[in-house]
Amino acid sequence: MALADFLQQLDELAADAVAAFEAASDAEALEVTRVEFVGAKSGRLKAAQKGMGSVDKADRPVAGKQFNEAKTQVEVALQAAHERLAAGGASSSAKPAEIFDPTLPGKRPRVGHLHPITQTIEELKDIMGRLGFSVADGPEIEDERHNFEALNIPSDHPARDPLENFYIAAAERSHGKPLLLRSQTSTVQIRVMEQTPPPVRIISLGRVYRPDTADATHYPMFHQIEGLLVDQHVTMADLKSVLRLFAASYLGHNVHIRFRPSFFPFTEPSVEADMSWGDDWIEFGGAGMVDPNVLRAVGYDPEEVTGFAFGLGIERLCMRRHGVTDIREFYKNDVRFLHQF
């Protein structure tokens, strides 16, 4: 006998047996059925076992394995029938013991969530990547040259007040040079420009630190993204246009960009950039043309190249986008909060 035929017989036998045992309504009927299928002399199972001898020798291990499975199936069905009748139960066809409930909840695999700040950062990185800006990384612990001097922030500038920054205690270090936790990611721009001749087209992003007391809108640590484009012939019109593409990509519809004059030591002209939001304008971030002193500080010639820079706070953007009203939620890390994003 061919293996396939044998296997089909087995399947039919098992199916018949299960149906018959389930249908047995009393002990007598069950005994008749039992003899029919598992009778020691002429039960159908016994017959099947004999039939195995006519299967090709090479196929016999597979046939044997399948036979054992069918046998187990039949025995389990018989046992179940015994138990059902012993418990005074009726036949399953008359009154099903179990009804499949398709409304039961599925078995959910636990899916982890990325922090909303990470999601925002990744989206901004992605957008700026499409606009040709590569991500540059730099240290969070900085020296004064990169955090201040090269950014045109002189030593008497209020931003350099030790109380406005997180300076690192000198006693813990073997070198005398003052170090501090960076107060802006522009430090990375300086490091990149020091190492790379123009053109430069980067974004830098990450943690920045300022001694603000934590409240609903302030936290001593937050995240910034800053963009820098330095090349020949870069103008404020380019800045406005890139910011428009950036904002439109983020929001998914066209927006307009408005500049209001502002003041930052490292850019001039300096502006606050707003984007249109319905009939209103909302703050997007600070921006401007790279100050000639900054270009000179990194060895660029401000007569040869110009550049623009912009920066924005990621928490603020994320809060507005997702309706988060307290910045401290981001750092509490309640998993119920994390699972909302």
Question: Which residues in the 53-82 window bind another protein by CB under 8 A?
Answer: 61
- The residues, ordered by sequence, that sit 6+ positions from 31 with a Cβ below 8 Å of its Cβ are none
147 contacts another protein (rule: CB under 8 A): no
CB of residue 78 vs another protein: minimum separation in angstroms? 30
279 contacts another protein (rule: CB under 8 A): no
* Residue choice 68, 134, 195, 196 for contact with another protein (CB under 8 A): 134
CB of residue 69 vs another protein: minimum separation in angstroms? 18
Residues that contact another protein, how many (by CB under 8 A): 89
- Span of 12-20, 27-35, 63-71, 204-212 interacting with another protein by CB under 8 A: 204-212
3 φ, ψ (degrees, to nearest 5): -60, -45
142 φ, ψ (degrees, to nearest 5): -125, 165
Of 16 and 166, which has the nearer Cβ to another protein? 166
Find the helix or strand (DSSP H, E) in which 309 lies. strand 306-313
143 contacts another protein (rule: CB under 8 A): yes
CB of residue 161 vs another protein: minimum separation in angstroms? 7
* Residue choice 33, 66, 91, 165 for contact with another protein (CB under 8 A): 165
- The residues, ordered by sequence, that sit 6+ positions from 132 with a Cβ below 8 Å of its Cβ are 201
CB of residue 283 vs another protein: minimum separation in angstroms? 10
**Subset of 103-122 contacting another protein (CB under 8 A):** 109-115, 117-118
- The residues, ordered by sequence, that sit 6+ positions from 155 with a Cβ below 8 Å of its Cβ are 148, 149
Measured CA to CA, the distance from residue 215 to residue 202 in angstroms comes to 32
322 contacts another protein (rule: CB under 8 A): no
* Residue choice 7, 211, 249, 321 for contact with another protein (CB under 8 A): 211
Q: Is the dihedral of CA 71, 72, 78, 79 positive or negative?
A: positive
142 contacts another protein (rule: CB under 8 A): yes
Query: Encoding tokens for residue 35?
Result: 């003899």
Of 49 and 119, which has the nearer Cβ to another protein? 119
CB of residue 4 vs another protein: minimum separation in angstroms? 18
331 contacts another protein (rule: CB under 8 A): yes
Among residues 236, 336, 327, the alpha carbon closest in space to that of 288 is found at 236
Site string for another protein, 214-253 (x = CB under 8 A): x-----xx-------x---x-xxxx-xxxxxx--------
- The residues, ordered by sequence, that sit 6+ positions from 148 with a Cβ below 8 Å of its Cβ are 154, 155, 157, 159, 160
**Subset of 34-53 contacting another protein (CB under 8 A):** none
Q: Distance from first CA to last CA of the chain, Å, rounded?
A: 62
Measured CA to CA, the distance from residue 144 to residue 140 in angstroms comes to 12
Of 193 and 289, which has the nearer Cβ to another protein? 289
One-character DSSP codes across 42-90: T-HHHHHHHHGGGS-GGGHHHHHHHHHHHHHHHHHHHHHHHHHHHTT--
Of 207 and 321, which has the nearer Cβ to another protein? 207
192 contacts another protein (rule: CB under 8 A): no
